[in-house]
Amino acid sequence: MKLATLCYLKKDGHTLMIHRVKKENDIHAGKWNGLGGKFEPGETPEECVIREVREEAGLTVRNPRLHGVLTFPGFAHDEDWYAFVFTATEFEGELIESAEGVLKWVPDEEVMGLELWEGDRIFLPWLEQPGFFSGKFVYRDGKLVGHEVVFYEAA
């Protein structure tokens, strides 16, 4: 099982996305993603997302907002992935050149037109809703074959 974070930085009607075109043997090759990655031992989801954004983009996030958890059974090498999904509007620093791919501030209305994972088109709108979600996305051979979600009301 792999634990990971995923973060969508928002600024002035744009979302920071990464086009995964640099890393060898990247399961995300050619796709546009939010920023994030795997937990290091002892990290909280918040610590992980802050570290990953700093490593991938050179930006220091403050007060990331957790929106939900996504489960991807057997996603890569037959391992289950669990991703804690955040947005962030408070950050500082200058963008760096990422070893993972090309970083770009994409106008919000153009994000859905990018080469995304099929499930991303389903869960990205959930980031605009109140409350918390727990979603499950099942992929086989890179294709989405099913999904389900539970929404929890904001307290």
- What's the average model confidence in pLDDT over 106-123? 96
**Residue-range domain boundaries for the chain:** 2-152
pLDDT-based confidence at 99, cuts 50/70/90? confident
Where residue 53 falls (left for φ over 0; alpha for ψ -120 to 50; beta otherwise) is alpha
pTM over 0.85: yes
Tokens of 138: 């099942």
- Residue 11 above 80 pLDDT? yes
Q: What is the pLDDT of residues 72-92, one digit of tens each?
A: 998 877 889 999 999 999 999
Contact between 95 and 120 under an 8 Å Cβ cutoff? The reply is: no
Give the SS3 label for residue 141.
coil
Q: What is the pLDDT of residues 115-127, one digit of tens each?
A: 999 999 999 999 9
Q: CB within 8 A of 4, min separation 6: which ones?
A: 36, 37, 38, 39, 48, 81, 82, 83, 84
Q: What is the pLDDT of residues 15-40, one digit of tens each?
A: 999 998 877 776 777 899 999 999 99
DSSP letter (8 states) at residue 6: E
Return the pLDDT at 21: 81
Arithmetic mean of pLDDT over the chain? 94
CATH of domain 2-152: 3.90.79.10
Return the pLDDT at 78: 81
Q: Are strands 32-33 and 102-107 parallel, antiparallel or unpaired?
A: unpaired
Q: What is the pLDDT of residues 33-70, one digit of tens each?
A: 999 999 999 999 999 999 999 999 999 999 999 999 99
**Widest pairwise Cα distance in the chain:** 43
